[in-house]
Structure 1
Amino acid sequence: MKKAFIISNMYPTKEHLAYGVFVKNQVQQLNAAGIETVIAVNDNPATGKKNVIKKYTKWALNVLLTFRKNKREISLTHAHYVFPSGLFSYYLKKRYKVPYVVTAHGGDINKMAKKSARIKGYTTKILQHADHVIAVGEELAQTIQQDYGIEPAHISVMSMGINRNVFKPADKQQMQKELGMDSERTNFLFVGNIIEEKGVYELITAFQQLEKAPAGRATLYCIGSTKDAGFTEKVKALVKSEHIHFIEPMPQAELARYFQAADVFVLPSYIEGLGLVALEAMSCGTPVIASSVGGLKYMLAEDAGVLVPPMDAVALQQAMEQALTGLAINEAKVQELLTTHDAQNIVVRLKAIYANVE
């Protein structure tokens, strides 16, 4: 093939390290596997109507100018997030007959498409005219098939993949020492945006109740962007414990050290397309407690992790209390998952999809 034109409404910068970092990772993995790419991405996470109009106008011009400049070399476009990114792929197919692949990440189907009938209509067109649809999790794929009439043959379930050269096991006690963690305590870790939908409020509530237990010697590290100022204030007002630490996003090599050092990773989300961070934790040898939602309930089935109901601080506390003395994890299932989601294996599958589409 010639070049793949990658279009995404999320892409990281030095100032916003976690903003769509999985897209950048996949672009780099494609390049390493011999697939040339050109990109047109939005790397500005600013919210508010005026900011959104400004940044998306700039991004739209970038998409069109980048396509015009590379038109003869582009074999296909690959849009990350059905709407709005897929709208450009849909237009380029209609106008220039360029085939496209679109990856649904979860929020685009579970949240964005529900905002208005107009966005639902765009989402339907984008999915139905795509040459192939990728869903990052099983439940997401089922929703796309049932609600948008996409044939199973035109959809693949495939995560963004984990880089097991970065996310790998290390000496836990040594890593805890390097990061200043107390190895006499159980160190819980959360990674994700500090927003309501990630279950942060329930996590803080559960942790503080856990500390009241006789054996509740624990510490909680929350790594993520505090972009929702109102919610962040609400959460920090809830915090009474000196053993809860909020840390801003960091480069993935540094983040991997926290995964390696943590005793338990917790992801109590309300919704998740897949929950790639849970896989990254597992790849570092850290057991996972997560909500039974989206791709997580498939990923952590068969005791690959511990599942709890979403929005249930009591059930979450009970699972975390169980973790104080150790979780029973099916290690064979974990290794099977890690092989399936290894970035190198994902890129092989993606190259095959590209070959069938172009």
Structure 2
Amino acid sequence: MISMHTSPLQQPGQGDAGGMNVYVLNSAKKLAEQGIDVDVYTRATRPSQGEVVEVAPRLRVINVVAGPYEGLEKEDLSTQLAAFAGGILVFARCQDLSYDLVHSHYWLSGQVGWLLRDVWQVPLVHTAHTLAAVKNSHRAAHDSAESEARRICEQQIVDNADRLVVNTHEECRDLVTHYDTDVTKVAVVPPGVDIELFNPGSDRATERSRRYLGIPLHAKVVAFVGRLQVFKGPDVLIHAVAELLRRQPYRNVSVIICGGPSGASTRPDHYIELARELGVDRHIRFLHPRPPEELVTIYRAADIVAVPSYNESFGLVAMEAQATGTPVIAARVGGLPIAVAEGETGTLVDGHDPSDWADALEAMLDDDETRIRMGEDAVEHAAAFSWTNTAERLVSVYNDVLVSEGVEPCFRRHAEGV
């Protein structure tokens, strides 16, 4: 696997780390558990990482030096594609490694995967996670556009990859609409959720979580988890809360925003200042990104988790929240209508008008019976998605592409221990 711009071991919710990191790490772990040897190549960002990290039996992360450890924005990483690809080739040659297949994640990795596919003469499977054309068609008016250079690179990957893996059928349609993709090359493989970690806990889990976080026990709590960038919509939630409190100034509502700034244009204190300007700063608490083991506490402490993104290929935060028994209010975009069962485990909002979001928050916060019922149903809904299922579907995709290339489906052999 190739994940050039962000390591699967990096803390999600800060910098460029997010749902893709969760996807790569968890799918790789489950593939390894099935007996498949997986190396994940990523760009080294500090010397203390070491070249090889043994994550689990059969799973390694290889840190490749390509450019300076620090000081390179994601937008500048394309200047290091040759150095990164060269580092992979040198490592594989020195270790006398051979691979059956390359699976690249995101367009930067896809460009490298395209080269390695031809050098090693093995199939290339690619997962975009996000697409420039789709992001540009959904972005907020004040958000910066993705470059035409990225869109061209994505088109090259789409044209040359042996198989394209997407999270939802809507993503498949996006590839066809924006990149003229051959639909027979596309495989839909939904992501999973760690239902062993993300669960409702015991009867007093909400109370204990609130005490741990220092949240009033009787407040209505709304949580946001994710990178603090325009595309994720934290400003939509902040404006919606301001509207909610304008309607009812003494409403007992607390908001947790957990995440770190992402992107060169986002200042660390931007959203803190926005909350202060709108006069809602005493209702909103900002937390630094948390590892999954601590995110569970935030999800359990919340009455609602808000996902106001302008687009999501799937929406892992929404699924994690539901697995803990917390209903979700999400934008009706991308894969979120699949991640959230509208009317059953949450509510979908058309658009990003803060007034509409305030309406949705008000309705769910004031209807305890429906909100509690949605939380109970959410656990069952999330249980249908697991990383084991994701890995099994990926094994099927890998074998299918090998067969189409005239190669014996070796992953089935490994998985069955033959």
CA contact (8 A) 1:138 1:298 kept: no
Q: 1:152, 1:134 → 2: CA distance?
A: 11
Compared with structure 1, are the counterparts of its residues 29 and 129 closer, same or farther at alpha carbon in structure 2 (3 Å cutoff)?
A: same
Q: Give the root-mean-square deviation of aligned CA atoms.
A: 2.9
Judge conservation of contact 1:78–1:100 (CA < 8 Å) in 2: yes
Task: In structure 1, give the amino acid aligned to 2:154.
Answer: T
- Indicate how the Cα distance of structure 1 residues 280 and 109 shifts in structure 2: closer, same or farther if over 3 A, else same: farther
Q: Which residue of 1 aligns with 2:171?
A: 140
Rate the CA distance shift 1:297–1:251 in 2: closer, same or farther, 3 A: same
Compared CA separation, residues 15 and 43, structure 1 to 2 (3 A): farther
8 Å contact from structure 1 (residues 41, 63) kept in 2: no
Does structure 2 retain, via aligned residues, the 8 Å contact 1:137–1:158? Answer: yes
**1:27 matched to 2:28:** yes
Aligned with 2:295: secondary structure?
helix
166-175 vs 119-128, which moves further? 119-128
Asked if the contact 2:330–2:349 (Cα under 8 Å) also holds between the matched residues in 1, the reply is yes
Equivalent of 1:182 in 202, 207, 216: 216
Point out the more displaced range, 110-119 or 292-301: 110-119
Q: Measure how far apart 1:318 and its partner are.
A: 1.0
Q: Is 1:252 paired with 2:292?
A: yes
Aligned residue for 2:338?
298
CA drift at 1:331: 6.9
Greater CA deviation, 327-336 or 274-283? 327-336
* Amino acid aligned to 1:37: V
Tell me, yes or no, if structure 1 residue 86 matches structure 2 residue 120: no
- AA aligned opposite 1:24: L
Correspondence 1:338 to 2:382? yes
Match of residue 221 from structure 1: 256
| Alignment of structure 1 residues 189-338 onto 2, 5 Å | 189-212=223-246, 213=248, 216-228=251-263, 230-239=266-275, 240=279, 241-303=281-343, 304-325=345-366, 326=368, 327=370, 334=378, 337-338=381-382
Report if the CA contact (8 A) 1:199-1:268 is conserved. yes
TM-score by length of structure 1 reads 0.87
In structure 2, relative to structure 1, the CA distance for the partners of 1:346 and 1:333 (3 Å cut) is farther
Mapped contact 2:272–2:286 kept (Cα < 8 A): no
Deviation at 1:234, TM superposition (A): 3.5
Counterparts in 2 of 1:71 and 1:99: CA distance versus 1, 3 Å = farther
| Secondary structure at the counterpart of residue 348 of structure 2 | strand
AA partner of residue 216 (structure 1): R
Tell me how many residue pairs correspond in the alignment: 353
Which structure has the larger Rg over C-alpha atoms? 2
Tell me the TM-score normalized by structure 2. 0.76
- Kindly state the Cα deviation for residue 209 of structure 1 after the two structures are TM-superposed: 2.4
Q: Give the secondary structure class of the aligned counterpart of 1:86.
A: helix
Contact 2:126-2:163 at 8 Å conserved across structures: yes
Q: In 1, Cα distance between the equivalents of 2:328 and 2:11?
A: 29
Query: Which of 196-205 and 207-216 deviates more?
Result: 207-216
Contact map agreement 1:10 1:42 (CA 8 A) in 2:
yes
1:153-192 map, 5 Å: 153-170=184-201, 171-192=205-226
Which position in structure 1 is the counterpart of 2:410? none
Range with bigger deviation, 30-39 or 117-126: 117-126
Between the aligned partners of 1:134 and 1:258, the Cα distance in structure 2 is 31
Structure 2: which amino acid aligns with 1:77? V
Q: CA deviation at 1:7?
A: 3.9
- The match for 1:37 is 38
Q: Distance in 2 between matches of 1:17 and 1:24?
A: 15
Letter in 2 for 1:270: Y
Counterpart contact for 1:216–1:321, Cα < 8 Å: no
Q: Provide the rounded CA distance (Å) in 1 between the counterparts of 2:305 and 2:258.
A: 11
Corresponding residue SS for 2:178: helix
**1: distance between equivalents of 2:342 and 2:75?**
47
Aligned to 2:408: none
- Tell me if structure 2 keeps the 8 A contact 1:262–1:286: yes
| CA shift in 2, pair 1:305/1:162, >3 Å | same
- Find the aligned partners of 1:50 and 1:313 in 2 and give their Cα distance: 30
Structure 1 stretch displaced more, 62-71 or 348-357: 62-71
Q: Which amino acid letter does the alignment assign opposite residue 127 of structure 2?
A: T
Identity of aligned residues (%): 27
Partners of 2:189 and 2:80 in 1: how far apart? 29
